[in-house]
Structure 1
Amino acid sequence: MREVATQLFQAGAQASPGHARLIGVGRAALTEVREGSAATFALVLIASCLVVFVAASLARGVGDTRLGRASWVLTGIRLCALVVGFGALAYQVRISGTITAADQLVLNWLTEHRSAWLTGPAIAITDAGSPVGTFVLAIVIGAIASRRAHSLLPAIILVGTVGAAGVASTVTKGLVGRQRPPLITQVLLETDHSFPSGHVTGAMALFGMTAVMLGFGLPTAQRWALGVLAGLVTVLVAATRLYLGEHWFTDVVGGVVLGGAAVLAGSAVYVAWMSRIGVRDCGEYPVRSVVTDTTTMGTAA
Structure 2
Amino acid sequence: MPPKLPPALPYLILLSFLFFYLYSTSLLPHSTTTSSTITTTTTTRTSSCNLFKGNWVLDRTKSTKPLYDESCPFHRNAWNCFRNQRENMGLINSWRWAPKDCELPKIDPERFLELMRNRNIGFVGDSLNENFLVSFLCILRVADGSAKKWKRKRAWRGAYFPKFNVTVAYHRAVLLSKYEWQPKQPTMNDGRKGIYRVDVDIPAEDWATITDYYDVLLFNTGHWWGYDKFPKETPLVFYRAGQPILPPLGLFEGLKVVLENMVSYIEREVPRKTLKFWRLQSPRHFYGGEWNQNGSCLFNEPLKEHERF
Query: Shorter-chain TM-score category?
Result: under 0.3
**Looking at both structures, which has the greater relative contact order when contacts are Cα pairs under 8 Å and sequence separation is at least 6?**
1
Q: Larger strand proportion, structure 1 or 2?
A: 2
TM-score normalised by structure 1 residue count: 0.27
Q: Give me the TM-score of the superposition, normalised by structure 2.
A: 0.27
As a proportion of its length, which structure holds more helix? 1
